Chains A and B, each alone.
Chain A
Amino acid sequence: MKNPYFLDIAITVLLYAFLGNAWNIVGGYCGQASLGHAAYYGIGAYISTILFLKFGISPWIGMILGAAFAGVLAIILGYPSLRMKGPYFVFFTIGFAETIRILFLTWKWVDGSRGIIIPFQNNPVNFIFFSKIPYYYIVLGFLIIGMFITYSISRSKIGKYSIAIREDETMAEALGIDTALYKSYAFAISASLMAIGGTFYAQYVLYIHPNDLMSLNNSVIFMLIAVAGGKGTLFGPLIGSAIIMPLWEYFRATFGGRFAGLGIVFAGSIILIIGTAVPQGIMGILSKIHAKYSISKDNIVGEEK
């Protein structure tokens, strides 16, 4: 683990597992495919960075403020948007993220399309470290906390309601669940985690730009990771990230110069194959294998056809 290159890949895998996990709370458990999560990711990065550079507030505190802001924003936007069904919701999330991205690109106070460079001030209080190793442990900690939050949600009333909403929204409403309210709770938690991930990215890369953070491509990657691993499962995003991010990095490193775009060819094919052939993701395949080789009938009950 001393090699910085491999450490960087490990950090990327953990960060994207964390982000995929955050997406999964809304996309997997609630069944609301958001393609606007990159906006919260970017907002988290920008809030902590601006507080740090313009007001001298430690990114650790900025991270929490950013997460709170993203959560509130998600509730404000979420309550009406989550009443939208199917494609209208996806359109709304894309439209929202793209609007935010264009605003940041043209906003002079945050340096618009030049992006912000965070000066290297090596100090744990500044959330800046010389070595990659502290980043590795920090993102590992984030991931564990994030997965624990997902686990607690899935065991709590919000989680049960969310799954009920995903399976049959009309039925859930008939049973007296305020579907929009519970969806916006889940949305707020998910957005806050995204913002935390954004701060981590900003402090790790020390350069932020609206297109790097808030592009639709990012939103797609979050979705891809959760869907490839198995949406609506606890370990799905981690598995998805562990498989996709190293491959992505490999394609970028190997074919980057001469065959630009081959990495996206690969990503596109994966999304396409998952969409048509394995809608349940890797966790779905694993649980099918498990169900096949276990004798207990409990595993077959509730299995998706």
Chain B
Amino acid sequence: MREILQAIVNGILLGGIYSLIAIGLSLIWGVMRIINWAHGAMVMLSMYITFFAYSMFRLDPLIALPLVAVIMFIVGYILQMILVERTLDSPWISRLCATFGLMMLLESLALLFWSSNWRAIPVTYGTWTFRIGEIFISFSRFIAFSIALLMALALHLFLNRTEIGKAIKATAQDREAAALMGINIHNIYRITFGLGLAATGVAGASLMTFYFVFPKVGFPFALTAYIVCVLGGLGKLNGAVLGGLIIGIAQSVSAYLISPEYKMAVSFVIFLAVLYFKPGGIFGGVTE
């Protein structure tokens, strides 16, 4: 019983990171109807930025975190400007090709320049744990989880309370009407893509406190994020948070009960079952 409880707690802590990655994906889909297939590569990129911030300037991942988020925002803004924007009106296979090609390009460039070695940052708090009753909680995972929740809250407030946030929501609801109201939708798209990648930046930096980075590290995270998005409903941010926690728990508990090698298969089976019976996701997302 204690082990199950421990697995559930670990799952929730991991789920926070999944939620954070999925939020970016969901936001981009909700506003632009584009699936960012390069999302995993973006997680990888932000992890490398965090790593190099440490190896060159001895910056702790948690201190580098805001910096990484800002860099990823700029990367997203520029990518949207020079690449994704061109495909907005193309058939959607072309849209898939654009970001999928970007993913392959980034992963292979990372392999070319930074080799396939696994790199980690030896943070001092890496091995700290504290216990609540019978349950042990890893300090760095707890911090990462808290950051993820704070980010989700901040994003929620940003979208609902600020001028730009409201403009983003308006564009998501009706592109033409938003443009007629004087909203510069192309600028909104760039900001949205930037925000989506900033979320991966935060996720990547917090991951570096307890995880390692290599060129293909992002793809499993992205796959999980797609599953999370489908569970929560594409385009729904609170759904992404809930879906992240569900998948986190499912992976962690199945790794304990069955075997860690089936952890990904279990999330896929949940995902396929949900899609099979509810083709629009549990909470019904935005499709067209």
Chain A interface (Cβ < 8 Å from any Cβ of B): 27, 31, 33, 80-81, 83-88, 90-92, 94-96, 98-99, 102-103, 105-106, 220, 223, 227, 231, 259-265, 267-277, 279
Q: Does B83 contact A (CB under 8 A)?
A: yes
Docked pose: A102 CA to B264 CA in angstroms: 8
Assuming the A-B contacts A262-B112, A269-B101, A272-B101, are A85 and B288 also in contact, with contact meaning beta carbons closer than 8 angstroms in the complex?
yes
Whether B268 lies near A106 (C-beta < 8 A) is no
Q: In the assembled complex, how far is the CB of residue B84 from the closest CB belonging to chain A, in whole angstroms?
A: 9
Residue from the list A99, A263, A277 in contact with B268, Cβ < 8 A: A99
Q: Does B35 contact A (CB under 8 A)?
A: yes
Q: Does B90 contact A (CB under 8 A)?
A: yes
Q: Does B100 contact A (CB under 8 A)?
A: yes
Residue from the list B94, B102, B276, B288 in contact with A80, Cβ < 8 A: B276
Residue from the list A96, A105, A261, A271 in contact with B109, Cβ < 8 A: A261
Assuming the A-B contacts A98-B264, A106-B261, A260-B112, are A87 and B29 also in contact, with contact meaning beta carbons closer than 8 angstroms in the complex?
yes
Assuming the A-B contacts A270-B101, A271-B97, A276-B83, are A96 and B111 also in contact, with contact meaning beta carbons closer than 8 angstroms in the complex?
no
Docked pose: A268 CA to B83 CA in angstroms: 14
Whether A83 lies near B262 (C-beta < 8 A) is no
Whether B268 lies near A95 (C-beta < 8 A) is yes
Segment at the A interface, from B6-14, B149-157, B176-184, B222-230: B222-230
Residue from the list A33, A83, A106, A262 in contact with B93, Cβ < 8 A: A33
A-B contact list, 22 entries, CB within 8 Å: A85-B279, A87-B35, A88-B280, A91-B275, A95-B275, A98-B268, A99-B265, A102-B262, A102-B265, A223-B93, A227-B97, A262-B112, A263-B108, A265-B105, A268-B104, A271-B100, A272-B98, A274-B101, A275-B87, A275-B90, A275-B99, A279-B93
Docked pose: A217 CA to B96 CA in angstroms: 14
Whether A92 lies near B95 (C-beta < 8 A) is no
Residues on B with beta carbons closer than 8 Å to the beta carbon of A27 = 93
Docked pose: A106 CA to B103 CA in angstroms: 27
Interface range, B side: 35 or more
Residue from the list B87, B116, B269, B275 in contact with A88, Cβ < 8 A: B275
Docked pose: A105 CA to B261 CA in angstroms: 9
Within 8 A of A (CB), among B81-140: 83, 86-87, 90-109, 111-112, 116
Q: Which 9 A-B pairs have the closest CB atoms?
A: A275-B97, A272-B101, A268-B104, A271-B101, A268-B105, A275-B98, A264-B108, A261-B111, A261-B108
Most chain B CB atoms below 10 A, which of A84, A88, A103, A231: A88
Whether B275 lies near A106 (C-beta < 8 A) is no
Chain B interface (Cβ < 8 Å from any Cβ of A): 29, 35, 83, 86-87, 90-109, 111-112, 116, 215, 223, 226-227, 230, 234, 259, 261-262, 264-265, 268-269, 271-272, 275-276, 279-281, 287-288
Whether A276 lies near B107 (C-beta < 8 A) is no
Residues on B with beta carbons closer than 8 Å to the beta carbon of A88 = 230, 234, 275, 279-281, 287
Docked pose: A86 CA to B280 CA in angstroms: 11
Whether B86 lies near A272 (C-beta < 8 A) is no
Docked pose: A31 CA to B47 CA in angstroms: 36
Assuming the A-B contacts A275-B96, A275-B101, A276-B98, are A98 and B86 also in contact, with contact meaning beta carbons closer than 8 angstroms in the complex?
no
Docked pose: A31 CA to B92 CA in angstroms: 9
Whether A275 lies near B105 (C-beta < 8 A) is no
Chain A, residue nearest B93 (CB): A33
Q: In the assembled complex, how far is the CB of residue A151 from the closest CB belonging to chain B, in whole angstroms?
A: 22
Assuming the A-B contacts A87-B35, A102-B262, are A220 and B100 also in contact, with contact meaning beta carbons closer than 8 angstroms in the complex?
yes
Whether B93 lies near A231 (C-beta < 8 A) is yes
Q: In the assembled complex, how far is the CB of residue A95 from the closest CB belonging to chain B, in whole angstroms?
A: 5
Docked pose: A81 CA to B116 CA in angstroms: 36
Whether A102 lies near B275 (C-beta < 8 A) is no
Residue from the list B35, B104, B116, B272 in contact with A92, Cβ < 8 A: B272
Residues on B with beta carbons closer than 8 Å to the beta carbon of A86 = 92, 287-288
Chain B, residue nearest A85 (CB): B287
Chain B, residue nearest A27 (CB): B93
Q: In the assembled complex, how far is the CB of residue B104 from the closest CB belonging to chain A, in whole angstroms?
A: 3
Docked pose: A98 CA to B269 CA in angstroms: 10
Residues on A with beta carbons closer than 8 Å to the beta carbon of B264 = 98, 102
Q: In the assembled complex, how far is the CB of residue A58 from the closest CB belonging to chain B, in whole angstroms?
A: 33
Whether B269 lies near A99 (C-beta < 8 A) is yes
Whether B94 lies near A274 (C-beta < 8 A) is yes
Most chain A CB atoms below 10 A, which of B108, B223, B288: B108
Docked pose: A229 CA to B138 CA in angstroms: 52
Residue from the list A83, A94, A231 in contact with B279, Cβ < 8 A: A83
Assuming the A-B contacts A27-B93, A275-B94, A276-B86, are A96 and B272 also in contact, with contact meaning beta carbons closer than 8 angstroms in the complex?
yes
Given A81-B275, A264-B108, 20 additional A-B pairs, CB 8 A: A31-B91, A33-B92, A80-B279, A83-B279, A86-B92, A88-B230, A102-B261, A102-B262, A102-B264, A103-B265, A220-B100, A260-B112, A261-B107, A261-B109, A261-B112, A268-B102, A268-B107, A271-B98, A274-B97, A275-B94
Residues on A with beta carbons closer than 8 Å to the beta carbon of B100 = 220, 271, 275
Docked pose: A273 CA to B90 CA in angstroms: 13
Q: In the assembled complex, how far is the CB of residue B87 from the closest CB belonging to chain A, in whole angstroms?
A: 6
Whether B105 lies near A269 (C-beta < 8 A) is yes
Docked pose: A223 CA to B288 CA in angstroms: 23
Residues on B with beta carbons closer than 8 Å to the beta carbon of A265 = 104-105, 108-109, 112
Chain B, residue nearest A259 (CB): B112
